[in-house]
Amino acid sequence: MEVSTVLEKEYRILVINPGSTSTKIGVFDNERSVFEKTLRHDSETINSFASIYDQYEFRKTTILETLDQEGINISKLSAVCGRGGLLRPIEGGTYAVNKEMLHDLKIGYAGQHASNLGGIIAYEIATGLNIPSFIVDPVVVDELSDIARISGFSLIERKSIFHALNQKAVARRVAKDLGKKYEDLNLIVTHMGGGITVGTHIGGRVVDVNNGLHGDGPFSPERAGTVPAGELVSLCFSGDYYRDEIMKKLVGQGGLVGYLGTNDAVKVEQMIEAGDEKAALIFDAMAYQVAKEIGSASAVLAGKVDAIILTGGLAYGKGFVKQISERISWIADVIVQPGENELQALTEGALRVLRGEEGAKEYPGTVVDNKVVQS
């Protein structure tokens, strides 16, 4: 008896993740990585450009030259997917790069950041090959519930800025491992890197999450997190600091940097092993605050939590993870997924569209009653 075998269609995808002085690229055949490389850019060269957008031709050329040197034929690509930048608030998902998105990325609608180049470069390469270009789950993904937007101060609304790409990718992987759909689970996903964000995932949407950039939630290696508002106001009006100095102390020079002079968790662990009591206290406090934030997220879910996921670079630290887990394991099972795997996450987002598992969303969608709705 002849048995027919249906072979899965293979898609080759180029993924691009620009950073401040580097560009990470990868080529994937379906989920399998065939090439990955971090392209380092000289600071002097980067600083010679007047704006972030002005870098795109230089970075695109560097990417194409590297692929050519590696013998990768770009004519065989099925799609190009870039890291999403600082766009308008949008719901999670994979978006086709369109003219509106390109405009907002070029002008830096919500701020200038190297990640804005991801969609631009993806579009430029893909257009020349007559294939689609995408971005996936940028940091501006906003699926907050109405009640989560209320800050308690009528002039300020809580905003959604978090590690959406990794949080959603890891949540989908864990759901698959559990034999369930992401949309059917209640999850608390904690990304722990230079910034720390704790997302409450219900029905495939992140209905509550701390703003991991501008002072909300636990402190992290580089960020101060939530600080006492009264004392912060006093510092701002003390005459001792300029606005930019205060912002740097909150973002970039906060957290471990402010207390210990380093953002390297491995170095802090070495300091602790050498008997540094202050380092031990600060590191313990960071784990303590992460656990508190997870506890708050469990209240959003009324205790009905299917799993708690710890991810990001800090999740490699066994001692740090243990401290958090000991405080929260009573809530639900703790699943550790170290690292960010951003290139893999971008690939998976593009594949869902190419395979017809979901449709590519159109940027920017429509805002109705503070909620982003796809037309």
pLDDT at 1 over 50: no
Q: What is the pLDDT of residue 214?
A: 83
For β-strands 334-338 and 361-362, DSSP reports them as: unpaired
- Tokens at 272, concatenated: 């602790």
Kindly indicate the confidence band of residue 365, based on its pLDDT and cuts at 50, 70 and 90: confident
Q: What is the pLDDT of residue 2?
A: 46
Provide DSSP, 191-203: EESSSEEEEEEET
Provide DSSP, 44-77: HHHHTSSSSGGGHHHHHHHHHHHHHHTT--GGG-
- Rounded distance, CA 335 to CA 281, Å? 25
Query: What is the per-residue pLDDT across 56-84, written as a single tens digit (0 to 9) for each?
Result: 999 999 999 999 999 999 999 999 999 99
**Cα within 13 Å of Cα(137), Cβ side:** 27
Q: What is the pLDDT of residue 20?
A: 84
Q: What is the pLDDT of residue 43?
A: 85
Kindly indicate the confidence band of residue 375, based on its pLDDT and cuts at 50, 70 and 90: low
Kindly indicate the confidence band of residue 6, based on its pLDDT and cuts at 50, 70 and 90: very low
The arithmetic mean of pLDDT across residues 165-178, rounded, is 96
Q: What is the pLDDT of residue 372?
A: 59
The arithmetic mean of pLDDT across residues 167-179, rounded, is 97
Query: What is the per-residue pLDDT across 243-301, written as a single tens digit (0 to 9) for each?
Result: 999 999 999 899 999 999 999 999 999 999 999 999 999 999 999 999 999 999 999 99
The verdict on whether omega for the bond into residue 364 sits within 30 degrees of 0, i.e. cis, is yes
- Per the CB < 8 A criterion, the answer to whether 188 and 200 are in contact is yes
Query: What is the per-residue pLDDT across 103-142, written as a single tens digit (0 to 9) for each?
Result: 999 999 988 889 999 999 999 999 999 999 999 999 999 9
pLDDT > 90: what percent of the chain?
89
Q: What is the pLDDT of residue 374?
A: 64
Mean pLDDT of the chain: 93
- Rounded distance, CA 19 to CA 38, Å? 10
Residue with tokens 């180029």: 14
Q: What is the pLDDT of residue 113?
A: 87
Q: Which one-letter DSSP state was computed for residue 239?
A: S
